[in-house]
Amino acid sequence: MTLVLLYGRIIPTDPAMPLNFGLCTTRRAFLSIILFYTGVHFMQTYPKNVLSTSDLLQKYIQAGMTISDFSAAETKLNEIGYYRLRGYSFHLYDPVTKQFKSGITFDTVLNIYRFDAELRKLLFDMTCQVEIALHTRFCEAMLLSGDPLAYLNPLFFKDKAIFWRNTSSLSSEIARSTDVFISHNYTNHDGQIPIWAAVEVMSFGTLSKYIKNLSVGSHSIFRYLSKFYSYKTSKGNLACPNQDMLTSWIHAVVVLRNICAHNSRIYNRSLSTKPKLLKTYRQNPQPRFCGLYHFLLAMKYLRPSDTAWNEFAENFRQLLQRYRSAIDPGKLHLPADWQYHI
């Protein structure tokens, strides 16, 4: 029997097997049919041909890129992948003429790629420090109640439906854990997991959702937590971020951490996530999309300590200095006075 995929519908062409598979809406359903039957043919085709690494490099050359060592370039492209590396050359290519700018070499693009890889490592390390400090401070704030299980009490949270969804997510994270401190509480404390153990397996995303749902008020757990992230106003007074502001910073760092963890490109990239910036750090006029500058500030607001941030900022400056001939800081959405703010 032959199956034909037509507009998402699986149609058997063998009249001896008049099966109606209906609309194949998921990849799993489709693959199940593929594995069960043989002789599957598709009416859908992709408009581009599959090219070899050598062919892809020839496309670069035809577009005006200089490749001094074809063999070395072929090896690198096999390691990195054409599609991934291509993302670092978009701003060097004219889509109208379909040609690279004058003087662009394979090494030009490769150096931008290397810069981005080093940048991701640096950023990822800082996001990890921010996350660890936030876990610790959230734990300390919850323990103000005097109850190690306060995070399981809906009275400390605004929206009860969201509370239960967050609790369900955290319960799954705890259940998946094989850490000895979790099994210890299973064995010795009837499965009750105190907050100081729970935060160790709580994902950054789940932590963000817990903080966003905390009740607010002058003597609330959130108020205590926000004091760790106090800042100076334009008048020189100390102020604490409100919940929308603090959670926007946390969400931005979560997004940045995920970008770095998945080895996604940062250079020449705009992001729709917009952390709320303090007035003294805002760009004028406000950009339509956010870039790395906004996320750097979110990390700075959430820094675990001044010492940790100063070390990061110095390493960031040195990284840009090392690659000054290869990159354009504007492609990181850094304003002219970024060093003053970072």
User: pLDDT digits over 170-192, tens only?
Assistant: 999 999 999 999 999 888 888 89
Nearest to 134 by CA among 17, 222, 244: 222
Same domain, 150 and 248: yes
**Taking a C-beta distance cutoff of 8 angstroms, is the pair 65, 57 a contact?**
no
Q: pLDDT tier at 117 (50, 70, 90 boundaries)?
A: very high
Same domain, 231 and 134: yes
Q: Compute how many other C-beta atoms are within 10 angstroms of the C-beta atom of residue 342.
A: 17
Q: Could you give the percent of the chain with pLDDT greater than 90? A: 68
178 is a domain residue: yes
- On average, the pLDDT of the chain sits at 87
47 is a domain residue: no
SS3 49: coil
Sheet containing strand 41-42, strands side by side = 9-12, 3-6, 41-42
Same domain, 198 and 88: no
Last residue in a domain, options 89, 104, 119: 104
**Taking a C-beta distance cutoff of 8 angstroms, is the pair 254, 296 a contact?**
no
How many structural domains are present in the chain?
3
Same domain, 302 and 220: yes
**Taking a C-beta distance cutoff of 8 angstroms, is the pair 135, 304 a contact?**
no
Nearest to 341 by CA among 295, 275, 273, 287: 295
Q: Which residue has the tokens 């029997």?
A: 1
Same domain, 165 and 289: yes
What's phi and psi for 116, nearest 5 deg?
Answer: -60, -40
For every residue of 238-284, DSSP letters joined together read EE---HHHHHHHHHHHHHHHHHHHTT---TT--BS--PPPPGGG--S
Tokens of 275: 């952390």
Q: pLDDT tier at 23 (50, 70, 90 boundaries)?
A: very low
Q: Where are the alpha helices (DSSP H) in the chain?
A: 27-36, 53-62, 70-80, 82-86, 106-142, 160-176, 180-188, 195-201, 204-212, 221-226, 243-261, 292-301, 306-322, 338-341
297 is a domain residue: yes
Tokens of 156: 């400390």
What's phi and psi for 105, nearest 5 deg?
Answer: -115, 170
Same domain, 138 and 228: yes
Same domain, 270 and 319: yes
For the segment 137-144, the average pLDDT, to the nearest whole number, is 96
Same domain, 85 and 121: no
Taking each helix axis from N to C end, the angle separating 292-301 and 106-142, rounded to the nearest 10 degrees, works out to 30
Asked whether the predicted pLDDT for residue 295 surpasses 80, the reply is yes
For the segment 34-61, the average pLDDT, to the nearest whole number, is 75
Domain that holds residue 21: 3-42
Q: What is the pLDDT of residue 52?
A: 92
48 is a domain residue: no
Same domain, 130 and 33: no
